[in-house]
Amino acid sequence: LKKNGYTVFPAGSVNEALDIFKQEKGKFHLVFTDIVLKDKPGRELVEQLLLAKPELKVIFTSGYLDEKMQLSIIQGKEFKFIQKPYQITDLLRVLKETIREG
């Protein structure tokens, strides 16, 4: 993603992602997260981030088909989803579509 001009802040857990979000003072435009993270579900991360920044764009990913059902609507918003495994070209397309929809 960095090679394609995106600024990336990788995090392996909800707590780490929230810390980064606070350090960066919420300057994010989009969050791309797995539904299954090591400490809490990705939807909990998204719920917390949306409380701080309701206009934040969200893309979920997962390798588990049934996980897609869990993210149908959070706070009345429908979110993009990209199934693992995916090609970088597919991810870039979904990123561009999501950003453009704002």
Structure tokens at 13: 């857990």
> Given this model, what pLDDT does residue 73 score?
47
End-to-end CA separation in angstroms for the chain: 20
66-82 tens-digit pLDDT: 655 565 545 556 788 89
Rounded CA gap, 48 and 50, in Å?
5
Q: Which residue type does 63 have?
A: G
> Given this model, what pLDDT does residue 72 score?
58
Query: Domain containing 37 — which CATH number?
Result: 3.40.50.2300
Low-confidence ranges of the chain (pLDDT < 70): 65-77, 102
Question: What range defines the domain where residue 15 resides?
Answer: 2-100
What is the count of structural domains for the chain? 1
> Given this model, what pLDDT does residue 74 score?
56
> Given this model, what pLDDT does residue 66 score?
66
> Given this model, what pLDDT does residue 69 score?
59
DSSP 8-state symbol, 54: T
